[in-house]
Structure 1
Amino acid sequence: MTMKKESYWYNTHIASFPPISKDMQADVTIVGGGISGITTAYLLAKENINVVLIEADQLISGTTGHTTAKITAQHGLIYDELIQHFGKEKAKQYYTAQVQALQQIKKLINEHQISCDFSEEDAYIYTNDDNYVSKLKSEANAYQELDIPGSLVTHMPLDIPMKLGLKMDKQAQFHPVKYLASLVNELSKNNNIRIFEQSPATDIQNSESDQPIVITKQGNVIQSRHVVIASHFPFYDMKGLYFARMYPERSHLIAAKTKQKYPGGMYISAEQPIRSVRATNSHDDQEIWLFGGERYRTGHAKQQKEAFHKLEAFANQHVVIDTFINQWAAQDLTTTDKVPYIGKLCKSTPNVYIATGYRKWGMTNGAIAAQLITDDILNKQNPMSDLFSPQRFHSDPDIKKLISMNATTAKHLIASKLAIPMNKIDELKANQATTILAGINKIGVYRDEASDLHAIDTTCTHMGCEVTWNGNEQTWDCPCHGSRFSVTGEVLEGPATKPLNPYDTSELEDH
């Protein structure tokens, strides 16, 4: 069996919708068709709010469709840190919000009888590093302080090496595409909801009545009282400077059929390299094991090259593998204090909301975002809003993290400008790319399966860093702020909103 280079979750039918083709008005415009956007549309629809939802590509094609799909409040070693930086009350709010999100998802599954492989599982963080044993004990103390059901363990159902583990009781997992595809079907029956795919948003402007207007790539405009930016990275970032307040990471997953039964539970290592293990059922009720990890900053080609091989080696070391069936990667954003930004974009744009920075825990945080933003639009008070507010700032750890993040960005910006490529086009094989010097310009060149060349200026259109080639996924990735582009330069991930500039391949014959 040939391994598919796509998410395992794309094994179910998703309703399709046309691109936007005319100007329109709505109460709320939602930009982004992942778990945040779809759930927000669903909650608003129940309140008879008129909604237009637009998606740049296809629904559920972004990070939501590439997740491990754990519905859990156990987000690594987070609660001791939250207590230290935010205090006990805010840390408790974070946990409570995650639990409420899990319950909301479970309620919707039961209400609509959604078949999405939902199961309750205990979640485990484990370590094989002596330095992390004390950290796990501190986290366990935080569990006790916050009344989180859980305990330290010296053995887990999954037979892998561990020195100490921390269990959180009764968490959950599901098939995210099956779940959201069912919610989309519910939305399609509601006359208050209009959905459009292949309709990227490019800008937001104010109307004469001070209502925000979303401009689409097609040139059509949507005027509404509120705009919800649920597009992973806020495409409209003129005032929030979110590109400097978050950092992007790629992580990898492989799906495999094995020769042994899965023992139950969800597992993740405390230390790097991250190793995540869970299982799900295939369409023929065969167990599929999912192995995740190998995180790295977006644009770091050297680290991504061996990512899948390392995950396969880990799987083969601990499980009798029958065959690997899927491999894929996901991009996630982490804020300076590790808590998502959910709420009003900034004070000067009170009717524009964002939901971003989920730090790889998008299933619960996406549901939290939908509830928080819906409540705000309906003028309902939500006690969690201050915790997640994008306007918050904490001197520690925000300043330390900002300095570290932007030092890394500056390093890559300078290094990429000084590096002089010495590669040759005639050495390129099919589905390979390289960077060459054409005069004073750095040009990225890709050769497709038909031996045709595609060339782009490697200068990222966001802030001028040099993009690097991602051979695993055949994309051009920016190491500074995480923008990603196709082989022909189209934007795949923000913060960039404009494509890479094309280069005439006829001028490359002598290179």
Structure 2
Amino acid sequence: MKLHTGSLYWESTFTKEGFAEVKRQDLYDVAIVGGGMSGALTSYVLANEGYSIVLIEQGEVGGGSTAANTGLLQFSNDIMLHELMEQIGEEKAVEFYRTCKEAMIHLQDVAEHAPFDVHFHTRESLYYASTEEDVVRLRKEFEVLQKYGFPVEFWELEDIKAHFLFSRPAAIVTAGDAEVNPLRLCMGAIQYAYEKGMDIFEHTEVLGILDTEERVFIQTTNGEFQAKSVVVTTGYAPTPDMVIPQKDLKVTYAIATQPIEDLSFWHDRMMIWETKRPYLYMRLTDENRIVAGGLDQNMDTIPSSQEDIDKKFKQLKQELQELFPNQKFHFEYEWTALFGESTDELPVIGRHPFERNIYYLIGLGGNGTVYSMLGAYLLRDELAGTSNPNESILEIER
């Protein structure tokens, strides 16, 4: 399945190096299937716990959807906290949001321990009401976030106009969010675990997984691996007899400008997104480029028509230009990506319902990197037999 097309900006910022060939161990503590962001963050967390780990990737690590990620990291989610309360209950919803906030701290820890700069920067986010009708909903969300101690401010129209050249009816400003180069973060986490002894096998496709009482046998195009536990992080079914539950597919679009010399029109390098669905979101990079994305569509594959794709890119550029009408932007990168989103807008994390030694970490949705980070710690607890408050919220069958 093709996961992305077009020119990917992040690939221009990092040169991958290969990993040394190793003799596989007879039995690993954990085998991680998938070398994208979820696999990378899981390897980082489990390497710190002293597990012997093998990472199995059918292509090259960091070569899938990770390079198409736009790198906005936020504790707020596509589903607002007050709406999640209605869906799963107040206590569970607040716990999940608090864990997302904690994941932001853990992601900064990964960035600080990576063997090279991953361009992680703490930022505020501006979440604006796209229309007057969205203001009531946005204010309700602000009040709930404030009630439970999340770092938020409410901006009226005049507040937005005082900081930006555009105006919107209202906005929530959240603190403690961050931006990152997602490809460098993924490769940094993997390199960290590799230097702690993790074995990496690229170009190794999983053909079958057999769970027995004592160990799991993983059949691949590169022979057999054995592990006490397996964590599947691929986002797609690695074998015909496995399924990824709770999943819908969407296509998203992203663009990146050429570097911009004067960014005085962009207040405090904030990340920006909106209440409309599908929404527009944007951020700045270390090279002072604007990366903007959105316009998601419910589709099982990337559109085959380049004309249809180009219409989406044109729409993205127009919406960005409408926010900053006096700025002249020159666009250099355009890409399209396929990603999964769960039917209840939450990730899928936990033990396989029928196989006791097989686990899933599928960071579905627009907040996938944060989900992957909190999921890595949830799996750490499950592997150790320790309770985790998110276990019942994110379990496979829910």
1:93 Cα deviation from its structure 2 partner? 1.0
Q: Secondary structure at the match of 1:271?
A: coil
Q: Note if 1:92 corresponds to 2:94.
A: yes
1:167–1:25 Cα change, 3 Å: same
- What SS does structure 1 have at the residue aligned with 2:330? strand
Matched, 1:179 2:182: no
Return the structure number with greater relative CO, CA threshold 8 A, min gap 6.
Answer: 2
**220, 225, 236: which one pairs with 1:222?**
225
Q: Where does residue 379 of structure 1 map in the other structure?
A: 385
SS at match of 1:116: coil
Q: CA distance change for structure 1 residues 61 and 163 in 2, over 3 Å: closer, same or farther?
A: same
Shift of 1:176: 1.8
| Cα shift at 1:18 | 7.0
Comparing 74-83 and 107-116, the one that deviates more: 107-116
Change (3 A) 1:305 1:327: closer
1:284-305, CA deviations, whole angstroms, 9 ceiling, x for partnerless residues?
Answer: xxx1111111100124747645
Percent identical: 20
2:366 counterpart residue number: 360
Secondary structure class of the residue paired with 1:349: coil
Paired AA for residue 342 in structure 1: I
How far did 1:237 drift?
A: 6.9
- CA shift, 1:373, in A, is 1.0
Shift of 1:215: 1.9
Q: 1:250 and 1:72 mapped to 2: Cα distance?
A: 21
Q: Displacement of 1:336 after TM fit?
A: 2.0
Name the residue aligned to 1:6. Answer: 7
Structure 2 counterpart SS, 1:293:
strand
Alignment match, 2:122: 120
Q: What secondary structure is seen at the aligned counterpart in 1 of 2:58?
A: coil
Aligned with 2:55: secondary structure? strand
Residue aligning to 1:297 = 298
Deviation per residue, 1:84-140 (Å, 9 max, x gap):
111221111111111111111112333457422221111121123233222212212
For 2:281, the equivalent position in structure 1 comes to 276
Paired residues of 1:266 and 1:277 also in contact (CA < 8 A) = yes
**Alpha-carbon spacing, 1:22–1:188, altered in 2? closer, same or farther (3 Å):** closer
Q: Aligned residue for 2:216?
A: 212
Instruction: Determine the C-alpha separation between the residues in 2 that align with 1:158 and 1:170.
Output: 20
**Residue number in structure 2 paired with 1:197:** 202
Q: Which amino acid aligns with 2:219?
A: I
The structural deviation recorded for 1:186 is: 2.2
Instruction: Report the TM-score, using the length of structure 2 for normalisation.
Output: 0.87
Number of the residue aligned with 2:333: 326
Q: Which residue of 1 aligns with 2:316?
A: 311
Asked whether the 8 Å contact 2:211–2:358 carries over to 1, the reply is: no
Do 1:31 and 1:230's aligned partners in 2 also have CA atoms closer than 8 Å? yes
Q: Deviations over 1:9-66 (max 9, x none)?
A: 1121223237899795311110111222112112222222111101121111222221
Q: Shift of residue 177 of structure 1? A: 1.9
Structure 1: segments with no counterpart, 5+ residues: 393-511
Distance in 2, Cα, partners of 1:20 & 1:296: 42
Flag the 1:351–1:159 CA change in 2: closer, same or farther, 3 A.
farther
Alignment: residue pair count: 379
Partners of 2:203 and 2:121 in 1: how far apart?
33
Distance 2:294 2:262 in 1: 22
1:233 aligns with 2:236: yes
CA distance in 2, matches of 1:122, 1:205: 46
- The CA distance in 2 between the partners of 1:97 and 1:19, in whole Å, is 37
Deviation at 1:344, TM superposition (A): 0.8
- Superposed, 1:98-137 pairs within 5 Å as 98-112=100-114, 114-137=116-139
CA-CA distance at 1:211 after TM superposition: 2.4
Q: Distance in 2 between matches of 1:101 and 1:176?
A: 15
Q: Taking structure 1 as the reference length, what is the TM-score of the superposition? A: 0.69
Q: Distance in 1 between matches of 2:378 and 2:240?
A: 20
Larger deviation, residues 106-115 vs 379-388: 106-115
Q: 1:21 to 1:312 in 2, by over 3 A?
A: farther
The question of whether the paired residues in 2 share the 8 Å contact of 1:335 and 1:357 is answered with no
2:331 is the alignment partner of 1:338: no
CA contact (8 A) 1:36 1:366 kept: yes
Q: Deviations over 1:162-217 (max 9, x none)?
A: 112111122111112222322333223233x110111122321235x55222222x
Using the TM superposition, give the Cα deviation of residue 151 of structure 1 relative to its aligned residue in structure 2, in angstroms: 2.5
Tell me the secondary structure at the aligned position of residue 162 of structure 1.
coil
Q: Find the residue that maps to 1:16 and give its secondary structure.
A: coil
Larger radius of gyration: 1
CA contact (8 A) 1:15 1:181 kept: no
Structure 2 SS opposite 1:267? strand
- Whether the 8 Å contact between 1:23 and 1:221 is mirrored in structure 2 is no
Match of 1:390 among 361, 378, 396: 396
Distance in structure 2 (CA, Å) of the matches to 1:374 and 1:237: 27
| Aligned-partner Cα distance in 1 for 2:340–2:376 | 18
Matching of residue 163 in structure 1 with residue 166 in structure 2: no
When residues 210 and 112 of structure 1 are mapped into structure 2, their CA distance, relative to the original with a 3 A threshold, is: closer
* Cα distance, 1:391 vs structure 2: 2.0
